[in-house]
Structure 1
């Protein structure tokens, strides 16, 4: 069975992928440093004031810091060239780091919920003054970082993700401020563990999303907008020169970088080159697949199922 292979190598036609600018990198690095530094302040503040809500908020800040660190790492590693051992370069690093980050967040949430349960059993005294001071400062840091991230290019998937993280954390800081005010005026201590559980649910939501997304990419799952069925249906329905599409495999190297291999049988073998080019164009424009390997199944061939047909004939003769 002979196959001709055509490779699409138009790596510069990333009309859909926002370009990474030095400005993006600086923005993300500055945001990371601010969040990470304040996360440490919040941990110290939480331990000194005895506030679990502050510690939970610090845990949420860790998710922000991790999201920003991943965005920064993706920018840096994305620029590193592929080598003989890593033919796709280091793009998967971001996904592996995201997976480890998600697992860590589950552990943090488990600890916060356990601590909160302990505190419901035996309420602890929380110092409202220091808690209020640290929570207000945290709120201001989150507002500043959100402002930095939403200036200019916020279309980049990593920056948008990081900005959403910070927005969630901003709500956590508002909660910690509210808890400090309640404790100061009423002395009702359970508000602190209650709020810490609410914040940990926010962390859980982002951790679950991150785990699912990174695991799907690591398991070579097809992106939601480009399943083999969708591709097969689209190409046979919309490209008149295509007689059949088979053996479709689609996967992501990292978020937003999709590759595919597939077999295409043209209606007319003489049109093979034009059909291949049309398929590559359609995959790029409709499914945002930046690199496609198209194998041609010729009409004078036994076709892609030659092996199974041969086996069936062989059994029939016996």
Structure 2
């Protein structure tokens, strides 16, 4: 019976995709924290719901980026042990899910508050709101550019990136609201923009939460055809059957697989093991695979398992 634990050479030293974007996350955190304080102060002073909504989104940006950084630090410093065999890389996924919950709560509150204000919208001074919104937009654009590349590789970074994107759109909405207020004096512009910002954020939040839950429930990674993997492993020379095949994501950029391969009596177990590991790494980018190569007699034990 053969047992193989495969590792490729393509993974970064720190392990996860998120770890390559620590400096960019830190810069986005500093920018967001500075402008969050400014927005909250002006929003409270002017009673602007649109700016308050933008400030709340900026708060989730700051908290979300902070959670993302914390998760990466935990992942780096927590090496695998006998009680935490995969370390704490899942902290990144939990951070992304927490970001989604925060965004959903803030967006829901803003929509509720805006609808309540439509009956009697307060007068909002347009000029200070406009100036702060323009400054906030500039800050969000910088953070957006810093995180854009990382969002393609890491769910954790993508959570922070989506929050920055939502806040950038929100800043544009606040600018429109302030311009309308300045030029026409129409009081409904501010609460209506608040509703629009909230409705823009909600569906994107649901998508982010769904992707995080997919990982936490250990579903197959997005874009990985497990049925195809099963067929390709079964087609390897010397392999009679493939069973107990599992493919899941530990955290963004870290896909993991395990499987039992039943081999023919005269098959070379070491050769089958090497071919299977090469197939997973080369054709499916799965560098971390635990494969058990077993004769027919040993495979009968697996048939007795209920799950």
Q: Deviations over 1:93-144 (max 9, x none)?
A: 1112222222222221221111011111221211112211110110111123
- The 5-angstrom pairing of residues 1-318 of structure 1 reads 4-10=1-7, 12-14=9-11, 20-21=19-20, 24-80=21-77, 81-149=79-147, 156-157=153-154, 158-159=156-157, 162-163=160-161, 165-237=163-235, 239-267=236-264, 269-299=266-296, 303=300, 307=304
Relative to 1, partners in 2 of residues 1:164 and 1:103: Cα closer, same or farther, differing over 3 Å? closer
Structure with higher Rg: it is 1
In 1, Cα distance between equivalents of 2:189 and 2:209: 30
TM-score by structure 1 length?
0.83
Relative to 1, partners in 2 of residues 1:5 and 1:226: Cα closer, same or farther, differing over 3 Å? farther
What runs of 5+ residues in structure 2 fail to find an aligned partner? none
Q: Which moved more, 1:140-149 or 1:269-278?
A: 140-149
Q: Deviations over 1:23-71 (max 9, x none)?
A: x322210111111221222122222111111122223323433443344
CA contact (8 A) 1:60 1:199 kept: no
Q: Deviations over 1:199-222 (max 9, x none)?
A: 112321332122112222222222
In 2, Cα distance between equivalents of 1:107 and 1:98: 14
Relative to 1, partners in 2 of residues 1:10 and 1:189: Cα closer, same or farther, differing over 3 Å? same
Residue in 2 that maps onto 1:316:
none
CA contact (8 A) 2:6 2:290 kept: no
Relative to 1, partners in 2 of residues 1:40 and 1:225: Cα closer, same or farther, differing over 3 Å? same
TM-score by structure 2 length?
0.86
In 2, Cα distance between equivalents of 1:244 and 1:282: 16
SS at 2:268 equivalent: helix
What is the root-mean-square deviation in Å for CA atoms of aligned residues? 2.7
Relative to 1, partners in 2 of residues 1:268 and 1:290: Cα closer, same or farther, differing over 3 Å? same
Aligned residues: 301
In 2, Cα distance between equivalents of 1:149 and 1:35: 13
SS at 1:220 equivalent: coil
CA contact (8 A) 1:50 1:126 kept: yes
SS at 2:267 equivalent: helix
CA contact (8 A) 1:60 1:200 kept: no
Shift of 1:177: 0.7
Q: Deviations over 1:135-164 (max 9, x none)?
A: 0110111123234446x9886435566445
CA contact (8 A) 2:99 2:159 kept: no
In 2, Cα distance between equivalents of 1:168 and 1:307: 51
Relative to 1, partners in 2 of residues 1:220 and 1:160: Cα closer, same or farther, differing over 3 Å? closer
Relative to 1, partners in 2 of residues 1:268 and 1:17: Cα closer, same or farther, differing over 3 Å? farther
In 1, Cα distance between equivalents of 2:95 and 2:17: 22
SS at 2:85 equivalent: coil
